[in-house]
Amino acid sequence: MPNILVVEDSPTMRQLISFAMKRISNSKVVEATDGVDALKKLSSEKIDLILADINMPVMDGLKLVSLVRGNPAYKNIPIIIITTEGAEEDKKKAIAIGANAYLPKPIQTQELIKLVNSFIGG
């Protein structure tokens, strides 16, 4: 059963992504409201994929990606960045710091499911 960590400060987006992830068979969603909360969840649960927003309070998504990549215990976890920034340079920046994929908002659920499946082999 793949565990997917959804890191989003917006409850609307968290609920929407969790809804979409329910359609990936056997997946379990773990929710976090910011980067710090995500690191706590990473230390307490085995996570197979991270879906993270960039703009979040306390700790943003980019900082979270760099911390995850710098930790040998988590460095191989695939990370998908979901954000309102749609410019090409934002995408390049996210990939450069270690994100595996980038999805601009508003998200297309089918596209998200397809992308998640490509990492967790659903």
Partner 1 sequence: MEREKNITKKADEFLQIFKKGEEFTQELLKENEKLRFRIAQLEETIERSGDEARIKLYEDRIKTVEDELNSLKERYKQVEEENKDFAVKYIEVEEENNNLANLYVASYQLHSTLDFNEVLKIVLEIIINLIGAEKFAVLLMEDKTNELVPVATEGMSIADVPKVRFGEGIIGTVAKEGESYFSENTHREGSAPDDRPIVCIPLKIKEHVIGVISIYSLLIQKEKFSNVDYELFNLLAGHAATAIFSSRLYTQSERKLTTIQSFLDLLKEKPRR
Which residues here bind partner 1, judged by CB under 8 A? 10-13, 15-16, 19-20, 84, 86-87, 104-110
Considering beta carbons, is residue 15 or 43 the nearer one to partner 1? 15
CA atoms within 13 A on the CB side of 45: 20
With CA atoms as reference, report the closest residue to 81 among 96, 63, 98, 103: 103
Supply the minimum distance, in Å, between the C-beta of residue 18 and partner 1.
Answer: 9
- Please tell me the distance from the alpha carbon of residue 120 to that of residue 3, in angstroms, as a whole number: 9
- Please tell me the distance from the alpha carbon of residue 98 to that of residue 65, in angstroms, as a whole number: 6
Supply the minimum distance, in Å, between the C-beta of residue 107 and partner 1.
Answer: 8
Supply the minimum distance, in Å, between the C-beta of residue 74 and partner 1.
Answer: 26
Considering beta carbons, is residue 23 or 40 the nearer one to partner 1? 23
Supply the minimum distance, in Å, between the C-beta of residue 33 and partner 1.
Answer: 13
Q: Angle at which helices 88-96 and 61-70 pack, to 10 degrees?
A: 30
Length of the chain: 122
Considering beta carbons, is residue 18 or 66 the nearer one to partner 1? 18
